[in-house]
Structure 1
Amino acid sequence: MRQIRLWIASLPRIAAGLLLGAISAVAELGIALVGGLALRQSAVVTGWARRVTEFERWRLRRFFHATTAEDTARALPYLAVRCWVGFMGGVVLLMLVYGFVASPVVLIELWTAEFTFAGKLIRAVYMVVLGIALLFLGLAGLWGLAAIDRVVGQHFLGSGREEALKRRVAELSFSRAEVITEIDAERRRIERDLHDGVQQRLVALGMLIGRARRADGPRAAELLRQAHEESQQVLHDLREVSWQVYPSALDGDGLHVALENVAERAGIDVRLHYDLDDRPPAAVETAAYFVVSEAVTNAAKHSGARSVNVHLGWKDGCVVVEVDDDGRGGADASGAGLSGLARRVAGLDGSFAVRSPQGGPTTITAELPCE
């Protein structure tokens, strides 16, 4: 029943689309004849063909929910074929209008004719059944012509969905290469952090413990105290490295708590406005965390900002992350950090934007789809 209701509800829209198509078919036939017979290479005819084709693309999208590529290279062949579809649509519409107007007249004339009551009743039932059958055929004709209109447009102009899929495949191929490069760079960064930080402190810790074993009395106690402090610093450095790889708080306490930790460790004033009632998917939480973390780190280290505002909220099924600071601006969106964020967001089919004029302020916005 739902499909039938949708079908009936769409009839006025389809009829309006076919009516416009029947009107435009007159112009399309003229352009096709002129372009095909005498002025095939005329720039004027080509220009008019493209304008009419743009109108047809709008009509297909508006009334038939059909998408086509923005390709008008085959505009003349398209118009030459489509004009006949338009004329057929006009004929079907005229037949339906004629049927609605003529059927009451026929029934009235039949009832006033000099027949017996039984004869009038039989003929009336016959006319009603025939009218219903013709009405069904006419409505089916509307649907069929709408389908033909869509097919013709997508054949000559190209399917918008196919073009979108081709662009998507190209984007994924490009982003896959970028992701591999980013993974290698991240591995090198982790190795460097471990080598320059944790590894050096572990070497120092081992030396302190060795000296403490050889010492006696107060000297041994002092060396053990230094070793204990060094072990605490090693743990701190390990936590820093692990948080840069993946914050464990995301799995347990969620995005809100993880961002509060970022704000506490930032070293500048960070105002967090968290307006997400429900938890987003894990991949979205991770991307949002790294967007905020990178933006706050850049503001603290490079922009000279004194304060940062972080906003998270819902918009049309997306988590919107906005980070703005009062720093000097001039952030390079093509830099390693921000370009890595852009690739991470693009992997979720989201959008990423950086506005950072000289003199500030800097605003970083990410929209992360959750569907």
Structure 2
Amino acid sequence: MTTDPARPDAGQAQAPARADDPLRRVLVRWLRLVTGALIGSGTALLGGVVLVVAGVTMVPTTVWSGTRPALLDWIARRVRGCVGVDRWRLARWLDCEVTDEHGLRRAVAYLLLRLLTGLLGPVVVLAALVGGVGYLVAAVVLVAEIPLANALTSAGLGVAGLYLAGHGTFELAALERWQARRFLGPSDQDRLQQRISELAASRAGVVEAVNDERRRIERDLHDGVQQRLVALGMLLGRARRSQAPERTADLLRQAHEQAQQALSDLREVAWRVYPTVLDESGLAAALETVAERCPVPLRIDYGLASRPTGVLETVAYFVVCEAVTNAAKHATAELITVDITERENVIAVRIEDNGVGGADPGGSGLSGLARRVAAVDGRFDVHSPVGGPTRISAELPC
């Protein structure tokens, strides 16, 4: 096993980078929005062309009405194609997810409105940006040739232009998101209803996961500890009835071994229910225990700089533990790797093995993990083609 726990000096080494992170994030976000707005100008122009062509081709249907259904179907496909391209742009550059469950009229209304914001908005933003840069350059270059008051005025206009360009970009993005949600959906009411459905499903999943866990504990106790205790009682009963000292000593020795095995099985069940090391020492130490118990070589790359909350630690631990157990039992793997990192306020857990693959995401173990992850609004994915490798990943929002 190889582990990479967080070093004590990791926070100090990353401190300078963190100081620049807010400014860098704002700049990157602004550049993404500008890119999305420029692409939006192209999609708006494309949508306008489609609407013009649709309007022109609809004119003959006033005379030959028989061609109207086929023509409307052709127009609907083109309109949906334009809206689909814009939906990709919104999701990729503006972080706005909209559904495709909208009618033709709403899509046409959206494309009509996009002609205004898609073509005029970027022009205004770029004009303010170019004007701001121009004024600043003029103030710097001509500061020795023009009065100081004029240079300061030019610099002030440049700063104002840059501010308007930056602020206008964010406002333009907000306007585009509003348009998309207003005409394409989902609306606030739809999102609220969807969220209620997700919470109801995750709550039902948690209840089912708890019931599955209780059944597993009962099965472990019945098949393991209970059977050994029954055997222990039988051995002690035979020892009491035995008249031969040597036979009695042998039976007591067997009873002592059964008691030790029962105690070991009980510890194993208790550890599988919830390991105390997780509360006492954290996720990294608990994963080291998993590696020690695993019969297959296990490599753990632990990259969290700070300890997560107890709920996230528990979910991450059981995702790793169940995935490693399945790989060791069923995948005939020779190596299992576990990678835990944090990025953009999300803890990413990934388990991969080089086994035979073919894991069933609908099985009781993996489906229980999916419900655990869904309970904390996380994402769970299983990729296990026949022949391997198997990759199980979970994203847990902090």
- Equivalent residues in 2 for 1:5-44, closer than 5 Å: 13=34, 27=49, 30=52, 33-34=55-56, 42=71, 43-44=73-74
Aligned to 1:272: 298
- Distance in 1 between residues matched to 2:292 and 2:161, nearest whole Å: 72
Please state whether the residue corresponding to 1:331 is helix, strand or coil. coil
State which of 109, 132, 136 in structure 2 corresponds to 1:77: 109
Residues 54 and 197 (structure 1 numbering): CA distance in 2 closer, same or farther, change over 3 Å?
Answer: closer
- Distance in 2 between residues matched to 1:152 and 1:355, nearest whole Å: 40
1:173 and 2:200 matched:
yes
Summarize deviations over 1:239-286 as a string: whole Å, max 9, x none. Answer: 1211221222322344444444444444x4x22222214444434443
Indicate if the aligned counterparts of 1:314 and 1:320 stay in contact, CA closer than 8 A: yes
Indicate if the aligned counterparts of 1:31 and 1:48 stay in contact, CA closer than 8 A: no
Please state whether the residue corresponding to 2:348 is helix, strand or coil. strand
Indicate if the aligned counterparts of 2:383 and 2:391 stay in contact, CA closer than 8 A: yes
Q: How much identity, in percent, do the aligned residues show?
A: 42
Q: Which amino acid aligns with 1:226?
A: Q
Indicate if the aligned counterparts of 1:280 and 1:370 stay in contact, CA closer than 8 A: no
Please state whether the residue corresponding to 1:312 is helix, strand or coil. strand
Please state whether the residue corresponding to 2:361 is helix, strand or coil. coil
State which of 210, 229, 240 in structure 2 corresponds to 1:183: 210
1:227 and 2:255 matched:
yes
1:151 and 2:178 matched:
yes
- Equivalent residues in 2 for 1:96-107, closer than 5 Å: none
- Distance in 2 between residues matched to 1:309 and 1:144, nearest whole Å: 48
Summarize deviations over 1:290-331 as a string: whole Å, max 9, x none. Answer: 34433443344444x2633233232634333323144x4443
State which of 337, 353, 356 in structure 2 corresponds to 1:310: 337
Summarize deviations over 1:137-158 as a string: whole Å, max 9, x none. Answer: x989988776555433321111
Aligned to 2:7: none
State which of 346, 361, 364 in structure 2 corresponds to 1:336: 364
Summarize deviations over 1:194-216 as a string: whole Å, max 9, x none. Answer: 23332233233344445555667
- Distance in 1 between residues matched to 2:200 and 2:185, nearest whole Å: 22
- Equivalent residues in 2 for 1:1-371, closer than 5 Å: 13=34, 27=49, 30=52, 33-34=55-56, 42=71, 43-57=73-87, 66-71=96-101, 73=103, 74-84=106-116, 148-159=175-186, 169-210=196-237, 212=239, 218-266=246-294, 268=295, 270-278=296-304, 279-303=307-331, 305=332, 307-314=334-341, 316=343, 317-326=346-355, 328-348=356-376, 349-357=378-386, 360-369=387-396, 371=398
- Distance in 1 between residues matched to 2:93 and 2:293, nearest whole Å: 55
Q: Which amino acid aligns with 1:247?
A: P
Please state whether the residue corresponding to 2:297 is helix, strand or coil. strand
- Distance in 2 between residues matched to 1:153 and 1:247, nearest whole Å: 48
Q: Which has the higher contact order (CA 8 A, sep 6+)?
A: 2
- Distance in 2 between residues matched to 1:254 and 1:88, nearest whole Å: 54
Alpha-carbon distance, 1:367 to partner: 2.8
Alpha-carbon distance, 1:65 to partner: 5.7
The worse-fitting range, judged by mean Cα deviation, of 227-236 and 80-89 is 80-89
Q: Which amino acid aligns with 2:380?
A: S
Aligned length: 336
Runs of at least 5 residues in structure 2 that lack an aligned partner in the other structure:
1-21, 62-67, 136-149
TM-score, L = length of structure 2: 0.63
Please state whether the residue corresponding to 1:275 is helix, strand or coil. strand
Residues 335 and 144 (structure 1 numbering): CA distance in 2 closer, same or farther, change over 3 Å?
Answer: closer
Residues 38 and 194 (structure 1 numbering): CA distance in 2 closer, same or farther, change over 3 Å?
Answer: same
